[in-house]
A and B are shown apart, each in its own frame.
Chain A
Amino acid sequence: MEKLLVAKVSNEIDVLMRVSGIIRRKGFSMKSIHMEQATENQANLKIMLSYQDKSVDQLMNQIKKYNDVYEVSIV
């Protein structure tokens, strides 16, 4: 299964490490990753997830918790 994760995040590399770290630990794979500055402090993060027998909702619930993730959804 493949799904695109889209998030508004802080414009810092830290958030990329947090998000990719939790994706790794929950056993998902990534097909692609893209992060682009949007405003002075914000960036858009897009990750194409690839996975089997996993709950993407569980992953979302984890990612939502970080202070530097402002919005996250699956499209």
Chain B
Amino acid sequence: MEYTGAEIVLNCLKEQGVNTIFGYPGGAVIPLYDALFNYHQDFLHVLTCHEQGAVHAADGYARSTGKAGVCFATSGPGATNTVTGIATAYMDSVPLVVFTGQVPQSLLGRDSFQEIDITAVTFPITKYNYLVKSIEDLPSIIREAFRTAMSGRKGPVLIDIPKNIFTAKGEYITISMFTEGKKTAPVDDNLLWEAVKAIDVSKKPVIYAGGGVIHAGAEPELWELAKKASIPVANTLMSLGCFPMNHPLSLGLVGMHGHKETNLAVTESDLIIAVGARFSDRVIGTKDKFAPGARIIHIDIDGSEIGKNKEVDFPLEGNVKDTLKALADKVCEKDRSRWLSSIRSLAPKVKQQPDAFSPANILALAQRIVGTDSIIVTEVGQHQMWAAQYCRVDSPRRFLTSGGLGTMGYGLGASIGAQIANPDKKVLHIAGDGSFRMNCNELATVSKYRLPIITLLFNNGSLGMVRQWQDLFQEKRYSQTDLTDDVDYMKLASAYRLNGAKAENLAQLREALFKAISSEKATIVECMIDKETGVYPIVPPGMPIDNMLTGR
């Protein structure tokens, strides 16, 4: 049948099982939005306040569900506003399909009104992108875009569509579901057996789990391997939740702000099993001193990651889920209680003061009240690292954070996407005051769609993480990191018709959170924190990860 280009886009989205779109209209996409008007029963279109918010929302939708997030934006400024969101998704391998409008083909290359070469801009931050040149190509491009976003190592794809193609007519034939992407070859059997032998003889193995475990849905296989061979699991920021943290084999966060015993265990280990992880500088500190005595097994679907940042002994390129399953089947059952108890003995004896209004106590109380099954979404800074250190995350897709790009302003948009995708779950948005100011315009979206997001705003009156670096590494020269007291966040909340509560101690926090939950309304709970409170441990940048500053 003949359809307009705009209708073809929407039909292709239906075909892919898409029912939610995050976006913002404008001149070049007027025909697309006009068609959407007729398809309103097929899609929930979430209108954000800014295209960056729309992309972060699509990202939060994708991370919390495992489906591709979909986004619409207009040409020119609409398209450039998506860039930070796309880059954020790219760095963390999040599948998105972003549609941008473009000026009509007759006006391309003339510096026309709102013409930006967005495919050129996004070459380095997309897995692939397209400028559609003819309506005949449109269905196949959209199908390929979803396949590309969702297959292998996932990532964002952008499709730039000139306005005249939205209005042109073309043939479209429905196909049922999208075809599977390229199948990855299974790992070579000999290599696999060598890795199995290495695991069997290892006395001090550690699994270093990355976000790839969650992207592959390989948590059950990881669990099998870890349990059967008694191997402790260290998490990157991206993999929190891939292994239940209440289990004795869970070591939690590793790297720059990793737990002391976790970093020491990795350093002392004789075998690192890296799974869907990429040896980022924030994890390994310095390449040569990361696990210096260990042999390294690296399991990853993306061959270009293997050996990129660190040489490995057993490169296992392939599907993480299948490879973990094969390893779990083949390794010997082992008791490694001596290794496990020696790790445990490395843990510092912390005496938390039970009444202190400290990040650890605030987060523990918030999780107790909001529930450990809630979806935690963070901004970027100290509060993010506290959340990574202190929150208990027992299942995957429950901890959404910008790891690779470290995008301040990610959290509110991502919370919106996560809440829309998971209306029956609580969303706990953990924000810093600096990050919150970046995209708090999206509170209007929270209000419009009546999303009961709870924002835990860590107000330390500063760009705390940068300030902490200035404190430790710049002789306390606090250049441009004090935010002073110029925003009344409670009034801001009420301006958006949301609730707000301020807490200066645990009792006030408890009351505020109970009220927030029972009100079923979005609430900003502002926690007043001392700006001198630091994130510890911290490994100075470029140092080995056993070189930790543990506090002042």
A residues sitting closer than 8 Å to B (CB atoms) are: 14, 17-18, 21, 25, 55, 57-58, 61-62, 64-67
Chain A residues near B124 (CB-CB < 8 A): 21, 25
> From DSSP, what is the main secondary structure of chain A's interface residues?
helix
B449 interfacial contact with A, CB 8 Å: no
Interface centre among A14, A25, A64 (most CB of B within 10 A): A14
Shortest Cβ distance from A18 into B: residue: B123
Closest-CB distance, B102 to chain A (whole angstroms): 15
Residues of B within 8 A of A18 (CB): 123
Shortest 6 CB-CB contacts between residues of A and residues of B: A61-B304, A62-B304, A61-B303, A67-B128, A21-B123, A17-B123
A58: chain B residues at CB < 8 Å are: 304, 307-308
- Residue among A57, A62, A65 with the highest chain B CB neighbour number at 10 A: A65
Residues from chain A with Cβ under 8 Å of B144 in the complex: 67
A25 and B152 CA atoms in complex are apart in Å by: 23
Q: Is the CB of B307 within 8 A of A55?
A: yes
Bound state CA distance, A61 and B305, in angstroms?
A: 8
**11 A–B contact pairs at CB < 8 A?**
A17-B123, A21-B124, A25-B124, A58-B304, A58-B307, A61-B304, A64-B303, A64-B304, A65-B304, A66-B128, A67-B144
**Structural contact, B119 and A14, CB atoms closer than 8 A:** yes
Closest to A57 in B: B307
When distances are taken between beta carbons in the complex, the residues of chain B under 8 Å from A61 are: 303-304, 306
For the complex, give the distance between the alpha carbons of A63 and B93 in Å: 17
Bound complex: CA A66 to CA B123 (Å) = 11
CA distance A41 to B130 in the complex (A): 16
Complexed CA–CA distance, A12 and B492 (Å): 50
For residue B123, give the distance in angstroms from its CB to the closest CB of chain A: 6
Within 8 A of A (CB), among B117-160: 119-120, 123-124, 128, 131, 144, 148, 152
B307: chain A residues within 8 A (beta carbon): 55, 57-58
* Distance A62 CA – B124 CA, assembled complex (angstroms): 12
Q: Are A17 and B120 in contact (CB under 8 A)?
A: yes
Most chain B CB within 10 A, of A14, A55, A64, A67, is at: A67
Q: Across the interface, name the chain A residue whose C-beta is closest to B127.
A: A65
- Other contacts beyond A62-B304, A64-B304: 8, CB < 8 A: A14-B123, A17-B120, A18-B123, A21-B124, A55-B307, A58-B307, A66-B128, A67-B128
Do A67 and B148 contact each other (CB < 8 Å), given the known contacts A61-B303, A61-B304, A62-B304? yes
Residues of chain A contacted by B148 (CB below 8 angstroms): 67
- The answer for the CA separation of A14 and B120 in the assembled complex, in Å, is 8
Quick one: which of B152, B302, B303, B308 has the most chain A CB within 10 A?
B303
- Interchain CA distance A62-B153 in the complex, whole Å: 12
Chain A residues near B128 (CB, 8 Å)?
66-67
User: What is the CB-to-nearest-CB distance from A63 to chain B, in angstroms, rounded to a whole number?
Assistant: 9
- How far is the CB of A69 from the nearest CB of chain B, in Å? 11
Q: Which single residue of chain B is at the shortest CB-CB distance from A58? A: B308
In B92-116, the 8 Å CB interface with A consists of none
Q: How far is the CA of A65 from the CA of B308 in the complex (A)?
A: 15
In this complex, what residue of A is CB-closest to B133? A12
In the bound assembly, the distance between CA atoms of A25 and B306 in angstroms comes to 18
B 230-263 to A, binary, CB cutoff 8 A, 1 in contact else 0:
0000000000000000000000000000000000
Q: Which residues of A contact B303 (CB under 8 A)?
A: 61, 64
